[in-house]
Amino acid sequence: MSETGSLLSALVCRSCATEVDAARPAGTCPNCGGALFAVYRLDRLDAGTWRRSLRDRPTTLWRYRELLPVQRTEDMVTLGEGLSPLLALGPIPEAPGLEVSVKDDGGMPTGSFKARGMAVAVSRAREIGLRDLFVPSAGNAGVALAAYAARAGLRARVYLPERTPAPQRNACAAYGAEVRAVPGNIREASEVARAVEKDRGSFDMSTLREPYRVEGKKTMGLEIFEQTAEHEGLPDAILYPTGGGTGLVGMAHAFSELDHLGLLERTPRLYAVQPAGCAPLARALEAGAARITPWADPRTIAPGLLVPSPFASEPVLAAVRSTRGAAVTVTDREILVAMHLLASRHGISASPEGAAPFAALPKLLARGDLKAGERVLLYNTGTGLTFSREDLERTLGLEPPLR
């Protein structure tokens, strides 16, 4: 058995400060029901030596193994995920004066950034003895769980809204997961999943209802640091398509750890981009609220952003506020235009979710959140190859197809 060098020490609830033994399976806080987060012995890491060592490590997210929870190398489940490209876009007429790049997770093994969280969470699940996993999903998380569970030799069940695009439903089944379609959206899928799984002895892999998917998402921030810090420096702002918001929490967590290690000169501002038809986090941020209130009538063409009541919204809101960021909403039509422009002008295939940050650029520039001369990173969370833009356009009643 070989050790990864992980510096994991415990799991902690940020709401009530309860500490939980990380060596045992854990979902939410046993005291208050809040989300649990991994804590590392950062004082044991020589930051300079660690940073230099990254140059010679494999190009997967496991290059950051000291800051990830898996203890044994044989329990690391990988499909080659991580170190996705950072692509400069060049001048953008809709957002003049900005230096814009895209972090493109569309080429991940399962087609989206969900591979990051599930790679780490499934690895840790196997390491601590879990064998039966389930997740309610809008699509991409289900595909990722199915693939990584297959790789790890674990059982998986995926609960999908019945309107989930066929390519994602079919992919879950192809990887060997049991797939159950549920009427409604992710909220209803979650309710059905937890009711069915209550007495089965299975483990819920939902975002922030277990502590390790966010650790996989943390690698987004670690990669952005590694890809930019020694060159032009970290971007001034990061625009992130936000459904459940775990990616924002993960990136803020990464930047906090890097700052603790003395490696960070400044933290990028984080901007949550949500669809106008389902924007509970944006509403809470704009109102200065401590937590979200559920969105009453959620509607959007971006399935991954159709999250009317994100679990554990407090750390998501805190991630944006702690970086002096904000939120912005975009319409479904603006998302479609952004998908078209990214593909036809820049050669980047983006899902509706991944195109939302591009759509937000002119809005944030117009209201003064972004300023000419700043460097802005857009996060494309998934490929657009599983979506038919013509079908999306017809969903909005746009005929002939929008160009």
Question: What 3 state SS string does 234-276 have?
Answer: CCCEEEEECCCCHHHHHHHHHHHHHHHCCCCCCCCEEEEEEEC
pLDDT of residue 185: 87
pLDDT of residue 363: 97
Query: Among the three residues 52, 75, 98, which one is the final residue of a domain in this structure?
Result: 75
317 and 242 both lie in a single domain: yes
Q: Is the pLDDT of residue 85 over 70?
A: yes
pLDDT of residue 13: 96
Find out whether the peptide bond into 400 is cis, omega within 30 degrees of 0. yes
Q: Is residue 2 part of a domain?
A: no
Q: Is residue 205 part of a domain?
A: yes
pLDDT of residue 392: 86
Q: Is the pLDDT of residue 301 over 60?
A: yes
Burial 346-370 (b: 16+ CB within 10 A, else e): bebbbbbbbbbbbbbbbbbbeeebb
Q: Is the pLDDT of residue 350 over 70?
A: yes
Of 380, 379, 298, 351, the closest CA to residue 139 belongs to 351
Q: What is the DSSP string of 3-57?
A: B----EEEEEETTT--EE-TTS---S-TTT---EEEEE-GGGS-HHHHHHHGGGS
Q: What domain count does the chain have?
A: 2
206 and 318 both lie in a single domain: yes
56 and 141 both lie in a single domain: no
Q: Is the pLDDT of residue 402 over 80?
A: no
Q: Is residue 16 part of a domain?
A: yes
Q: Say if CB 120 and CB 69 are below 8 A apart.
A: yes
Domain at 386, CATH number:
3.40.50.1100
193 and 87 both lie in a single domain: yes
pLDDT of residue 390: 80
125-168 pLDDT, tens digit per residue, is 999 999 999 999 989 999 999 999 999 999 999 999 998 888 89
pLDDT of residue 393: 82
pLDDT of residue 397: 74
152 and 22 both lie in a single domain: no
87 and 60 both lie in a single domain: no
Q: Is the pLDDT of residue 401 over 80?
A: no
Query: Among the three residues 30, 50, 75, which one is the final residue of a domain in this structure?
Result: 75
Q: Say if CB 107 and CB 85 are below 8 A apart.
A: yes
The pTM of the full predicted model, rounded to 2 decimals, is: 0.95
According to DSSP, residue 376 is labeled E
316 and 397 both lie in a single domain: yes
Q: Is residue 1 part of a domain?
A: no
Q: Is the pLDDT of residue 365 over 60?
A: yes
Q: Is the pLDDT of residue 196 over 70?
A: yes
Q: Is the pLDDT of residue 312 over 90?
A: no
Give me the mean pLDDT over the 283-311 stretch: 94
- The two most distant CA atoms of the chain are separated, in Å, by 61
Tokens of 264: 């960070």
34 and 101 both lie in a single domain: no
Query: Among the three residues 48, 75, 102, which one is the final residue of a domain in this structure?
Result: 75
Tokens of 329: 């909403």
Q: Which range marks the domain in which residue 199 is found?
A: 80-403
207 and 166 both lie in a single domain: yes
pLDDT of residue 389: 79
Cβ-based neighbours of 3, under 8 Å, separated by 6 or more: 71, 72, 73
Q: For tokens 């230096």, what's the residue?
A: 99
Q: Is residue 230 part of a domain?
A: yes
Burial class (CB in 10 A: 0-12, 13-18, 19+), 246: buried
208 and 342 both lie in a single domain: yes
55 and 191 both lie in a single domain: no
pLDDT of residue 403: 52
Q: Say if CB 40 and CB 68 are below 8 A apart.
A: no
54 and 185 both lie in a single domain: no
